[in-house]
Structure 1
Amino acid sequence: MWEWQISSLIGFISLVLFLIAVCYILYSGLTSEIHVRTGLPPFRSITIAYKYKVGPYKNCGSLFKESRSIGPKLSCIGIFYDDPKKVPAQKCRYAVGSILSEGEDGPNEDQQQLYEKHGFRVFSFPEVTHVVTASFPHRTPLSIFLGVQRVYPQLNYYIKTLHCPLSHMAFLTTSQS
């Protein structure tokens, strides 16, 4: 009799864990709509503190965590330069950090020095007038993987369909605190 109860309990726990895993994957963005558009950028100019790495994109989580620990109220940013379906994982390039300022106001000097003290570089992107953007939610660590796998094909299709003359494409992701 108790074997049946233990089997039922194990089956119930397995079902609950399976449902939790499915919900987590769905919440991470598996079925989220990807919006690709051309036009003005979502921000005029930005100054970021970043660290540049080469290697599998799956390793970028530690940089997001480090950046978030230095400036917990700042938006994080990730720039992924290569399509992982075309470039070997060990050669993929990315930069991860935080947005120090948007617009013409410069970054807070103390904040900038704190990031530099932790080995981050600071860079200001100039204002641009025409970009192709895609949006995808960054809700969990799995969102990064799902975003890379789902957004690159959508961007490539959009750019090829419109025949956009882009010499360089980067996948940029931001997350709000």
Structure 2
Amino acid sequence: MLIIILLVLLLGLYAYLDGFSEIKVSTQKSGGETIVYQEVTGDYKQTKAITNKIYYYLLHKLKIEANRGIGIFYDNPKEIAKDKLRSEIGCIIESKDTNRLSINECMYKIKVLPSEDYATAELPLKNGLSIFIGFIKVYPALDKYISEQGKKKGSVTEIYDIPNRKIIYRQALLKCDQ
């Protein structure tokens, strides 16, 4: 009986996290965001801690409130050792605040993301487990979509959109000869 109760609870949690919903992937032109970030080599599990560190730096030192975190992941953790994984982790700066950023004042790197076509999907951000659902649902959907488009997979960007309570996944679409 305990196993049945546990199974029902797990299925309920999975349903709450939209684990049973279909992931819709499409090609969208996006990008152009200004980000404050840190280059990271190592386990992707560091993402939350680094995002928080940059968020609080922006809030307390530069008086900029950034409500969207970002992770740009360059390597596939199934193919590359954890200590060699490359990423850029940080926060998206709203356009109204970009003029308040100064390369000389900011202790982190600043750049504008390229505006181009990406394979794009979304998932509700309900709690920390939403990221896990992304691994098991969104990444396979992106892989399938990109393969069907005859493209090669590029870096993956995850945008943690706190105000809109969603995670936006964008994977760069590369030509097969790139």
TM range, normalised to the smaller chain? 0.5 to 0.7
Q: Deviations over 1:59-104 (max 9, x none)?
A: 21112222333344532222222222222222222222111135xx
Task: Find 1:122's aligned residue among 105, 110, 119.
Answer: 110
RMSD value, Cα: 3.2
Residues 159 and 167 (structure 1), Cα distance of their counterparts in 2 relative to 1, 3 Å cut: closer
Task: Find 1:101's aligned residue among 94, 100, 111.
Answer: 94
- The number of residue pairs the alignment matches comes to 153
1:39 is aligned to 2:25: no
**Which 4+ stretches in 1 moved above 6 angstroms?**
none
Q: Distance in 1 between matches of 2:102 and 2:91?
A: 13
Identify, as 1 or 2, the structure richer in helix. Answer: 1
TM-score scaled by length of structure 1: 0.68
Instruction: Give secondary structure in 2 for the equivalent of 1:94.
Output: strand
TM-superposed CA distance for 1:48, in Å, is: 0.5
- Report the more deviating stretch, 60-69 or 25-34: 25-34
The answer to whether the Cα contact below 8 Å between 2:66 and 2:94 also exists between their aligned partners in 1 is no
Q: Which runs of 5+ in 1 are unaligned?
A: 1-10
Instruction: Give secondary structure in 1 for the equivalent of 2:25.
Output: strand
TM-superposed CA distance for 1:123, in Å, is: 0.6
TM-superposed CA distance for 1:50, in Å, is: 0.9
TM-score scaled by length of structure 2: 0.67
1:51 is aligned to 38
Residues 167 and 84 (structure 1), Cα distance of their counterparts in 2 relative to 1, 3 Å cut: closer
Q: Distance in 1 between matches of 2:42 and 2:21?
A: 27
Whichever of the two has the greater Rg, that structure is: 1
**Aligned residues with identical type, % of pairs:** 28
1:83 is aligned to 76
